[in-house]
């Protein structure tokens, strides 16, 4: 099967799901090299658009994602990576999942998750998630 990397300029969206709970943990992007590394090593590897390089989830924090299964959607342009999280959280802001905010009617946003770890202790004081200085900034 040929995956369609052309639709998103050489990248595939990679939805990451906890294999045990079914919870969606994050969305990253993979180019062919990142996907091959993920399949070969069993460690979830992404292509960082902000840094223009590959990064293995957990390379800085130690919060890795052990691959258990990789599924391809019907259009062959998105993958689902089912993982076993190894660490308290996936989100570089300190949450178990990157999806810790709920969009309410009217456009307001409500935080619905609880922090699982202190991002300052993991990434260091002054680490700026928005500037791409932590591993989670894709």
- Tell me the pLDDT tens digit for each residue of 64-80: 999 999 999 999 999 99
> Can you tell me the mean pLDDT for 35-59?
96
Two tokens, residue 38: 């993920």
Burial 103-118 (b: 16+ CB within 10 A, else e): eeeeeeeeeebeebbe
pLDDT in tens, 3-44: 999 999 999 999 999 999 999 999 999 999 999 999 999 999
Kindly state the average pLDDT of the residues 33-62. 96
For residue 48, the number of C-alpha atoms closer than 13 Å in the C-beta half-sphere is 17
Q: Which helix (H) or strand (E) holds 32?
A: helix 32-41
Mean pLDDT of the chain: 92
Strand partners, 27: 15
Is residue 96 very low, low, confident or very high in pLDDT (cuts 50, 70, 90)?
very high
* Residue 94 confidence (pLDDT): 94
Asked if the model's pLDDT at residue 53 lies above 60, the reply is yes
Measured CA to CA, the distance from residue 137 to residue 131 in angstroms comes to 8
Fold annotation for 6-129: Ubiquitin-like (UB roll) (3.10.20)
Give the model's pLDDT for residue 126.
Answer: 66
In this prediction, residue 127 carries a pLDDT of 62
Residue 124's pLDDT is: 86
pLDDT at position 136: 56
In this prediction, residues 81-99 reach a mean pLDDT of: 96
């Amino acid at each position: 099967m040929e995956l369609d990397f052309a639709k998103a300029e050489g990248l595939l969206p990679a939805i990451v799901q906890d294999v045990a709970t079914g919870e969606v943990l994050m969305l990253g992007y993979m180019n062919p090299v990142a996907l091959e590394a993920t399949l070969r090593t069993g460690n979830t590897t992404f292509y960082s658009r902000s840094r223009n390089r590959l990064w293995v989830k957990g390379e800085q924090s130690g919060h890795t994602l052990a691959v258990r299964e990789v599924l391809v959607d019907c259009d062959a342009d998105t993958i689902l990576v089912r993982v076993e999280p190894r660490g308290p959280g996936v989100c570089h802001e300190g949450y178990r999942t990157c999806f810790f905010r709920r969009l309410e009617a009217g456009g307001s946003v409500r935080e619905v998750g609880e922090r699982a770890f202190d991002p300052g202790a993991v990434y260091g004081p002054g680490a700026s998630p928005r500037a791409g200085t932590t591993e989670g900034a894709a």
